[in-house]
Amino acid sequence: MKSQQTLPTVVRHAAGTCAASPISAADSARCARLRKRREAVRPNRRRSLRRILAGATAAILVPCAYISVSASLLYVHSRPTVDHYIAEYSLPGQVARAERIPRSMTDALIAVEDRKFKFHHGVDWAALRGALGEDFHSLSFSHGGSTITMQTVRYLALPSDKTITRKVAEIALAKHLERNVPKSQILLLYCDSVTFGLHTAGLEDASKTYFGVQPQRLTLAQSALLAGLIANPPATVADLPMAAADVVRNRALSALQDRFPYKYSQAQIDDARSETLAFSWQVATPVASHWRTGR
């Protein structure tokens, strides 16, 4: 009869090999105590993991809920203003005004500000994702990714502060505008509300301020310059020297040729590039205003 009993063997894994060896009752008791300690620790780890996951979820959901509620309130507050312009710009006189905007001007606006304007329904999601990615990498909010429609509702009804709440409301209002107004009237609304610099308000004011002409008499070069100024409008005449104006115009003409390669010939683009921009502060030209009245 053996003086010391041994428990069944256990398999120990070491260095990729298995070796079977008996363990004593003392070792078995030690292993049992260690097992109990591990089992006591596991619930604590699970509780800690659940707390971490709950905190991370709250950190995501709480700001999202705040943005959603704030954007909804801003949308409800701003929609009556947008609805007012929808009703006004659906009148026959406004439709006739839209037809008098020169094609070169609308094409330049689309080429520079919103290349997919004719195809999206208010929001260019690809451009918006790209802008958000650039903002994330640069730690700024300088790349909005806004379409012409989004810019229009911003000028008409939204505050100028750059926040996520305003961007969400801007998206919702842009889709609302696209559902109720044709593209031609959205372009007219944009032309009447956007600023081209020099404290101008709308295309008519800018056409007269810069060139002393009505919008329908703008040349291709003049249209390209005005479209190019929207991104960085000059505050004073001193902010727009001739050399800078030529750069802005030529960049817009390149965008126009790239967006509409079959509409404008190379000769037309070259002529527009070589055209001398005669500003109204260089040559005074009185202009009568019939643009907004529709006469």
- Residue 21 backbone phi and psi in degrees, to 5: -150, 145
180, 268 contact by CB (below 8 A)? no
- Residue 273 or residue 57, greater confidence: 273
Going through the chain in order, the beta strands assigned E by DSSP cover 10-14, 17-21
- Residue 83 or residue 63, greater confidence: 83
- Residue 284 or residue 252, greater confidence: 252
The predicted-structure confidence for 115-136, as pLDDT tens digits, reads as follows: 999 999 999 998 888 877 766 6
Report whether pLDDT(89) > 80: yes
Please give the pLDDT value at position 18: 43
Report whether pLDDT(243) > 90: yes
Torsion sign (Cα): 227, 229, 231, 233: negative
Please give the pLDDT value at position 178: 96
| CATH 1.10.3810.10 intervals, the chain | 197-281
Confidence of residue 15 (pLDDT cuts 50, 70, 90): very low
78, 279 contact by CB (below 8 A)? no
Q: 246: Cβ–Cβ under 8 A, 6 or more apart, which residues?
A: 277
Domain 197-281: homologous superfamily in CATH: Biosynthetic peptidoglycan transglycosylase-like (1.10.3810.10)
Q: How far is CA 275 from the centre of its chain?
A: 34
Q: Which range (40-49, 111-120, 251-260) has the least confidence?
A: 40-49
Q: Which range (29-43, 95-109, 155-169, 189-203) has the least confidence?
A: 29-43
pTM of the model: 0.75
191, 227 contact by CB (below 8 A)? no
Cα–Cα distance measured from residue 58 to residue 69, given in angstroms and rounded to the nearest whole number: 16
Q: At what angle do helices 25-88 and 148-157 cross, to 10 degrees?
A: 70
Q: Which range (5-9, 202-206, 207-211) has the least confidence?
A: 5-9
The predicted-structure confidence for 131-189, as pLDDT tens digits, reads as follows: 777 666 665 655 568 899 999 999 999 998 888 899 999 999 999 999 999 999 999 99
Cα–Cα distance measured from residue 127 to residue 177, given in angstroms and rounded to the nearest whole number: 19
Confidence of residue 67 (pLDDT cuts 50, 70, 90): confident
